Amino acid sequence: MIRSLIKSSTFSSLASILSYGLTIILARNESQSAFAEFTYSVAWALILIQIIDLAATQCLTHFKLSSKKNIEAILPSVYSAKIVALLILLLVIVVTGSVTGFNVPISTLYFLIPAFYLGPVFEMRSLNVLFAKILFVEKAILLLFCYFYLRVYPLDVFVYVAYFVISAASLFVQFRLLNLDMPNPRELERSLLVRYVSQYWPIYLTLASQVAYGHISRVIIEAKLGMLAFASVTLALQIVNALTILQTQVDRHLRPKIVESVESSNIRALNALSFKYVVGYLLPLLAGCFLLYIFAGEIISFLFGEKWAVASDYLQYLLPLIITVAILRYLDIFVVALSAGGGNLIINLLAAFALIGALMSISQGRPVQDYLVTIVVVQIVHIIVVIGYLLRKYPTERPSIES
* Tens of pLDDT, residues 139-192: 999 999 998 998 888 888 999 999 999 999 999 999 999 998 887 777 777 888
Angle formed by the axes of helices 368-393 and 217-225, nearest 10°: 160
pLDDT exceeds cutoff 60 at 401: no
Angle formed by the axes of helices 368-393 and 320-337, nearest 10°: 30
Q: In the chain, what percentage of residues exceed pLDDT 90?
A: 27
* The pLDDT of residue 319: 92
* The pLDDT of residue 397: 46
- Give 260-303 pLDDT, tens digit per residue: 776 777 777 777 877 888 887 888 888 888 999 999 999 999 88
The residue-averaged pLDDT of 96-111 equals 81
* The pLDDT of residue 396: 44
Q: Give how far Cα 70 sits from Cα of 43, 162, 174, 183, 259, Å.
A: 34, 34, 18, 13, 17
> Is residue 401 a part of any domain in this protein?
no
* The pLDDT of residue 359: 93
- pLDDT tier, 400 (very low <50, low <70, confident <90, very high otherwise): very low
pLDDT exceeds cutoff 80 at 363: yes
Query: Highest-confidence range of 104-108, 245-249, 336-340, by mean pLDDT?
Result: 104-108
385 within 8 A of 365, measured Cβ to Cβ: no
Enter the DSSP assignment of 154: -
- Give 216-234 pLDDT, tens digit per residue: 888 899 888 988 899 999 9
Segments forming the whole domain that contains residue 265: 2-393
Select the more confidently predicted residue: 50 or 67.
50
* The pLDDT of residue 200: 84
26 within 8 A of 90, measured Cβ to Cβ: no
Domain count, the chain: 1
- pLDDT tier, 237 (very low <50, low <70, confident <90, very high otherwise): confident
Helix, strand and coil content of the chain, in percent to the nearest 5, comes to 85, 0, 15
pLDDT exceeds cutoff 70 at 248: no
> Is residue 403 a part of any domain in this protein?
no
> Is residue 400 a part of any domain in this protein?
no
Compute the mean pLDDT over every residue in the chain, rounded to the nearest whole number. Answer: 84
> Is residue 242 a part of any domain in this protein?
yes
> Is residue 126 a part of any domain in this protein?
yes
> Is residue 33 a part of any domain in this protein?
yes
- pLDDT tier, 385 (very low <50, low <70, confident <90, very high otherwise): very high
The residue-averaged pLDDT of 365-381 equals 93
pLDDT exceeds cutoff 50 at 399: no
- pLDDT tier, 403 (very low <50, low <70, confident <90, very high otherwise): very low
124 within 8 A of 63, measured Cβ to Cβ: no
> Is residue 398 a part of any domain in this protein?
no
